[in-house]
Amino acid sequence: DELVSQIAAGEVVERPASVVRELVDNALDAGARQVTLRLSAGGVRAIVVEDDGGGIPAAELPLALKRHATSKIGSLAELERVATMGFRGEALAAIASVAEVSVTSRTADAAHALRLDARSGELSPAARAVGTTVEVRELFFATPARRKFLKTDATELAHCLEAVRRHALARPDCGFAVWHEGRLVEQWRPASAEQRLRDVLGEDFITGSRAVAWQAGPLMIEGRVGLPELARARADTQYAYVNGRYVRDRLVGHGVRSAYEDVLHGSRQPSWVLFIGIAPERVDVNVHPTKIEVRFRDGREVHQALRHAVENVLAPPRT
């Protein structure tokens, strides 16, 4: 089972940023309004994620680190409608197989917090407000070959920040703070959706873009797209979300790009942030363990809606 976990870990945990993505996912699933990360050595030495979510009941704490133990799927029918971000029950187990992990958690009705040490399985009382702290230390300590593939601390930190940014854009109602080596490196307070975009991507993204609000049958598309004449040509500011989950999808990218090509007849890479809302049964999110890929039931429908939504903003029909 250890081996199976390590193989699963290879798919889920590539670098510190993968751990950050999964832990913040869990915090948001738990209803957190504030997520604080404390990193050391770009996350390689330590990733500590604190949240003020609902916490893990004492009886369930040992289960949280077991493979396929998830509190998020009640039935197969529910699996099909799964709307939360994490649902496979593999992330924590996978991380615990390649790092030193502890989970400290407290629910509202508990007299105190409990800390679980993953390696020893030891449970001990701890002091903590309601919520959860997951500590991940010495990533890949037992697999030097994997550790060797990591880049400099600065690069790994940049990837970690990008992972938080992806969550932060989708959850403006939640506050985020990232500390590195005891220094506050990023902080986003709870804000409106537009203010969060401004906080994360900068004022020039707002002034250089226009709002998208498009509804077509079972599809809703919102966000902002960079204006051709103002847009910063930055391909790294392209964020797509499906039902609140960050995705990297060729079809989505292509749909947006073709709108720009239709209007601009050029190949500049514009900035955009788009949130696609779609009936859950029209999309399969269970394609890849990192959940970054999706499969639409009707890809053409999504592609066309994106294309029209973006074209409508870049070159509004004259009335």
Tell me, what amino acid is at 5? Answer: S
87 within 8 A of 27, measured Cβ to Cβ: no
- State the binding partner of 71 from ligand ADP, Mg ion, none, CB within 5 to 8 A by kind: ligand ADP
Which of 201, 209, 223, 202 lies closest to 277 in space, CA to CA? 223
CB of 89: closest distance to Mg ion in angstroms? 7
Parallel, antiparallel, or unpaired: how do β-strands 34-40 and 175-180 relate? Answer: parallel
Which of 175, 204, 171, 201 lies closest to 188 in space, CA to CA? 175
Beta partners for 39?
47, 180
Nearer to ligand ADP, 55 or 208 (CB): 55
Nearer to Mg ion, 221 or 247 (CB): 247
- The stretch near ligand ADP (CB under 6 A) out of 87-95, 150-158, 199-207, 238-246 is 87-95
Tokens representing 218 are: 């079972």
Nearer to Mg ion, 43 or 86 (CB): 86
- The stretch near ligand ADP (CB under 6 A) out of 21-29, 155-163, 249-257, 280-288 is 21-29
Angle at 51 between CA 48 and CA 56, to 5 degrees: 100
71 binds ligand ADP (CB under 6 A): yes
> C-alpha dihedral over 142, 146, 149, 153, to 10 degrees?
-40
CB of 29: closest distance to ligand ADP in angstroms? 6
226 binds Mg ion (CB under 5 A): no
- State the binding partner of 156 from Mg ion, ligand ADP, none, CB within 5 to 8 A by kind: none
23 within 8 A of 38, measured Cβ to Cβ: no
- The stretch near Mg ion (CB under 5 A) out of 51-59, 83-91, 200-208, 233-241 is 83-91
List of residues contacting ligand ADP (CB under 6 A): 22, 26-27, 30, 51, 53, 55-56, 64, 70-72, 86-93, 132
